[in-house]
Amino acid sequence: METVSLPMPDNAPEPGACVRVERPETGLAIVIFDPPHRSFPVFDAPMVRDLREVIRELAGDQSLRGVVFTGRKADQFLAGADVEGIGSITDPGIFEKACFELHEVFDSISKLSARTVAAVSGPVPGGAYEISLSCDRIVASDSNATRIGLPETQLGIIPGWGGSHRLPRRVGVPNALTAALTGRLFPAKSAYKMGMIDRVTKQEYLLRIASDIAMGRMPCKQKKRGYKAFLVDRNPLALWIVGAMAKRGVTAKTRGKYPAPYEVIKLILGAPLARHGVWAKKEAEVVGRLGVTSECKSLVSLFFGTERAKALGKHPNGKKLAPIETAAVVGAGIMGGGIASVLAQKGVSVRLADLSSEALGDSMAAHAKALKVKKKRRRINACEHDQALDRLDAVPGIIGMQGCDFAIEAVAEVLGVKQKVLGALAEAMPDDAILATNTSSLSVDAIASTLPSPERVIGMHFFNPVPKMPLVEIIRGDQTSDETVIRTTALALQMGKTPVICKDVPGFLVNRLLGPYLDEAVRLFLAGVDPLRIENLMLDFGMPMGPLQLLDEVGIDIATHAAESLHQGYGDRMIPVEGLSTFVFNKRLGKKTGKGFYQHAGVKKGKKAKLAEDLGSFQKQAALAALDDQQIVDRMVLAMFNEGCRALEEQVVADADTLDLATVFGMGFAPFHGGLIRYGEARGVSDIVADLNRLCKAPDIVDRTGGILRFTPAQILIDAAANGGKLR
């Protein structure tokens, strides 16, 4: 039996164990992916080895009329490539060879004389969809769990097992670009509409219908491109226009920091006119080149970070969690309304309480609008829309909470107010109900100090806007129980969020790191650095928006309050700059008042806000205007990095990987860097220590109270510099 180029896992089973073949009737073979060493099948070395042998056997069977490829469970097909294997390969030649081996296996499927059908259900990402594309037909179940697509660009590579040339031939260049560049996994009905699959059926009928199609007993036509294939896919001018638009969109979104999208555009544009063998080799070569880049390795590390986060909502001993089915949300502002809406959309019955009927009405209207948009975009069906609408009730105060398993308050950031609200909830709800606070600056322990059963009190810090921001900080107080942490984390996962468990320290993690970053940005601005230069430098660094725009989005008053809280918690190194007080005094608070660093009022829909024309009046000096680009970036990024290292020292989160995940998902730290700590390790810890020491000698930093304290290298950094430069 031939070996494969992918790394063989330590727990690899004996040859032939990963793929089963059943023969339910003469002429029909059911190929079942069933690796004993995996809870969910992936294309690892044992799977490739065994599949190759199975296809060879089927190719020699002259009596075979139909072959169905399917998973071992109703909600399982394949999870695509072995991401762990991708992360471990450092030789582009191995990547290229392994990729081409899969091409050979998939090509052998497409060359079988028998009719081949992929019967898919559950997640069908990447390689799982690419093996399906090598079959004659694809049938998918209409289960809500079914999601089909090519997410490889999200890992810094391309669809390299045929997706970059088989998909455009099937659905056309524009649809293929949409699928590959967004990395979106489509529901079965959306995939069918795009032509990505050929039939949708009920889960219970999937295997029977796939078998009937494979045996020729049931017709299943594949959508044809018709005249569009000539007007677009084979028209050089049309392809040039489509390609130019795609490149502009990628550049606008990524500023050219990710090579994979540009490579996939070239491959998809050339696919309709290319020979299969030539394009298979091109795909393999590109995968080999991209798979060893720092961008790919960083994105793979974040993938594993999200997978580890998913395990936080499970009991270590395997004990089944009691699901949270009913919840109360107190406070119908933007945060509370957003939390309530997401909960209702994810299957939780919610009572949203507020004394303001206007606030309740606004939240209910926003919930209805969000559902209407999702229904219009076919993200949910009519039944799901109605159910989610019905799951949210508005009540004028803490009424009817006795049946709720969970409650979260999202009221004013005032300790006494939060204690009063949670105290009332504790009286109204069952004794084992979880009491959560959405505080961004107050201590969970302080809030719990006046409440009965402090072991069920926890922080659940969402970021605004709640429906879009993926991170939730789960704040564990000194007395918070393990059960409360696990159940709350499981609820965050149910809401589609990525949870990070944090210690109860001032600012928790994300706001603590953002504090010095934003403060240094404002100091640079007030000291004469062109604000547009500040913004563009951080956009080029990879941040999703400049720091001044972020201040406007957050609200300058809220940012000022957070800065003062950090100062109280950490002393002089967090002394906030004084210049923002003028903005607050004049009610120039950012987006919510129409003006801050940017002019928001009067900006037409679809247009970007521009920096306010009068910003020069706030710059009373030009002391730092002569700094070079790297010096400007370092003041902001190294202030944040140094504080992140202090958080690691204090074990605010479990480890460096968790901190990296939080910085990417919570503040938008450039994913291609892999997170804040990974960025520092790649740059060089010794170099960063030297750069921080240089900053400690800068005259303006020496002269300001707490300046040297902010930039003095954390002890963990000094130790790492002396021991190989690793912080994990």
Residues with a catalytic annotation lie at 461
The one-letter code for the residue type at 647 is: A
Three-class secondary structure of residue 608 per DSSP: coil
> Which token pair is 374?
């999702």
Question: For residues 187 and 225, is the Cβ–Cβ distance under 8 A?
Answer: no
Return d(Cα 201, Cα 542) in angstroms, integer. Answer: 43
Kindly calculate the radius of gyration of the chain based on its CA atoms and give it in whole angstroms. Answer: 28
CB count, 10 Å around CB of 143?
Answer: 16
> Which token pair is 533?
């230069």
Q: Please tell me what DSSP assigns to residue 43.
A: B
Three-class secondary structure of residue 215 per DSSP: coil
- CA angle, residues 21, 23, 26, in degrees to nearest 5: 145
Question: For residues 58 and 114, is the Cβ–Cβ distance under 8 A?
Answer: yes
Question: For residues 404 and 427, is the Cβ–Cβ distance under 8 A?
Answer: no
Integer CA distances (angstroms), 691 to 386, 551, 630, 728, in order = 57, 26, 11, 21
Return d(Cα 419, Cα 450) in angstroms, integer. Answer: 7
Q: Please tell me what DSSP assigns to residue 153.
A: G
Could you identify the residue written with the tokens 């940012």? 559
Which residues, other chains included, contact 304 with Cβ-Cβ below 8 Å and sequence gap of 6+? 83, 84, 87, 657
| Continuous H helices in 449-509 | 482-494
> Nearest to residue 309, comparing CAs of 645, 668, 661, 648?
661
Q: Using N-to-C axis directions, what is the helix angle for 259-270 and 163-171, rounded to 10°?
A: 50
Q: Is the dihedral of CA 388, 390, 394, 398 positive or negative?
A: negative
Q: Please tell me what DSSP assigns to residue 639.
A: H
Burial (Cβ within 10 Å: 0-12, 13-18, ≥19) of residue 382: exposed
Pairing of the two strands 185-187 and 147-149: antiparallel
| Continuous H helices in 144-275 | 163-171, 173-182, 188-194, 206-214, 227-228, 236-254, 259-270
Three-class secondary structure of residue 322 per DSSP: coil
Which residues, other chains included, contact 481 with Cβ-Cβ below 8 Å and sequence gap of 6+? 455, 456
Question: For residues 210 and 66, is the Cβ–Cβ distance under 8 A?
Answer: no
The one-letter code for the residue type at 198 is: D
Three-class secondary structure of residue 381 per DSSP: coil
Phi, psi of 148 (to 5 degrees): -125, 135
Return d(Cα 566, Cα 570) in angstroms, integer. Answer: 6
The one-letter code for the residue type at 24 is: P
Return d(Cα 240, Cα 269) in angstroms, integer. Answer: 8
> Nearest to residue 272, comparing CAs of 304, 310, 316, 228?
228
- CA angle, residues 526, 529, 534, in degrees to nearest 5: 105
Phi, psi of 306 (to 5 degrees): -70, -35
